[in-house]
Amino acid sequence: MTVDAGLVRLVNAVLWPGFSGTTVPSWLGHALDTGLAGVVYFGQNIDQTDAAQPARLSGALRGIRSDVLIGSDEEGGNVTRLDASRGSPHAGHAQLGFVDDVAATRWVGRSLGADAVAAGVNVVLGPVADVTTQLANPVIGVRSFGSDPALVSRHVAAMIDGVQSVGVAACVKHFPGHGDTHTDSHLALPRLDLSWAEIERVHLPPFLAAIEAGVRAVMTAHIVVPELGPAPATLNARVLGALRSHGFTGTIVTDALDMAAIRETVGAGPGAVQALLAGAELLCIGNPANVAGRVDVDDFLEVQGALLAAVADGVLGVDVLERAGASVARLAGSGSVAAASVDAASFESVPLVRAGITVHGTVALPQGDLTILDVRSRPTMAVSSQLDAFSDELARSFTVDRLLIGPAASAAGSAAEAVAVEHGIVVLADRMATAGDQRAAVQAIVNVRSTAVVINAGLTAPMPGPWAEIDARGASRVTARVVRALVSGVSA
């Protein structure tokens, strides 16, 4: 069947896929030539050994389509694509929220924007506006500025101001707020079991602050708000209508449609159709590297084919595509990628991160051999990187032996590992804010080795344990540098 070329262009204009490799695959070049909105970078698209490669890749994309939208998750802290294998050099949201200096947050936003400009990226997928009211939240945690709506609001506005000051669009996420969920939407469909009135009181204020700050895009959350219906927010006209009712006139971007919350419920293709009908405008297809054996073009064709079929069946009107495409075009024309510089004298990353870290007890370790007992959870797909910056950094000051125990290890097994170690011990954890396997494992280790130092890369507990602990509030490269300095007594 022959498909009208004009209709293909209308469909492509609302699609934002990921892709494999560090160069432009042929299918992607063709799609850009036929109106594709742009691409989202993930770690596999960046050659970390070649500083000039991201800019060359972006230049190649712009050589095909000059107004291409190139997005990247650059939150600072744990989440980066441009520095996926090196670790971010920027303070994370939780550290910035703890320091609570909006000028510092604005500077970090500008630094993130400058990094994006250097790589040819013109949409930063951040900041995170979620208010962390659920300490057991498996996917937000230290990606949030904190648990107080007013604090989160002022830092969201400051970071948007910083990012957009260099001509890059910010895309705040995840509307209407992912901070009170117990489920990772990469793996299942979460529910936000709160009344809409409670959501408006606690979780919407940072998004309203983002709108006031002139944010150019808002990313949806794949979460169900039962009071507004069974469809997740990304596919829910009532939820997205609420965003518009608060005065947002920019582009509504979906979270990735390949996430299990959509793919394993309605499917990525039908989900794309429903998202457009609900009011979304730019459809983020997702990261083909998240599932072994997945082929990037197949994900793109699945969503593209579903939209074409929906138009043919009369389910999706051409007018919906036209309105969404016009919004995406406005986003593409809202800024310009030009050389950007940051006043490094204003703030420096290491002192800023150090201010965002707290220390309980004595954390000095003897020089020489060091065993790291790593009880952390597997990184989420949002973080993506398998980098262990702490082990890498500590190896600069110690002879390191890392034992990956994992969070499912029994407390008895963790204690046995500690007993077998003859020298200094560091315990790496990231789920210390609530009771569970990790906290039990840490307790068992310090019960038999009281000199162990715990590095908590996650949210802090309401009451710290009776052991030496560094609450790092993140696991970035710069955080690991500061932690190494704290435990070894050397300069970061």
Positions marked active-site: 186, 255
Pairing outcome for strands 69-72 and 398-404: unpaired
Cα gap 134→131, rounded to integer Å: 9
Cα gap 470→455, rounded to integer Å: 5
Cα gap 141→105, rounded to integer Å: 18
Cα atoms found within 13 Å of the Cα of residue 310, Cβ hemisphere only: 24
Going across the sheet that includes 123-124, the strands are 38-41, 69-72, 123-124, 169-175, 217-220, 251-253
CA 374 vs. chain centroid, Å, equals: 23
Of residues 457, 480, 485, 452, the one with CA closest to residue 467: 452
CB 119 within 8 A of CB 22: no
In the numeric block, the tokens 């802090």 are attached to: 460
CA 467 vs. chain centroid, Å, equals: 31
CB 320 within 8 A of CB 279: no
Of residues 436, 369, 435, the one with CA closest to residue 406: 436
Of residues 127, 217, 218, the one with CA closest to residue 169: 217
Of residues 29, 40, 31, 26, the one with CA closest to residue 11: 31
Cβ-proximal residues to 366 (8 Å cutoff; 6+ apart), any chain: 423, 424
Cβ-proximal residues to 108 (8 Å cutoff; 6+ apart), any chain: 76, 90, 91, 96, 159, 162, 347, 352
Cβ-proximal residues to 242 (8 Å cutoff; 6+ apart), any chain: 176, 228
Cα gap 160→162, rounded to integer Å: 5
Cα gap 186→380, rounded to integer Å: 8
Cα gap 16→39, rounded to integer Å: 5
Of residues 87, 108, 110, the one with CA closest to residue 385: 87
Cα gap 26→281, rounded to integer Å: 25
Cα gap 405→182, rounded to integer Å: 24
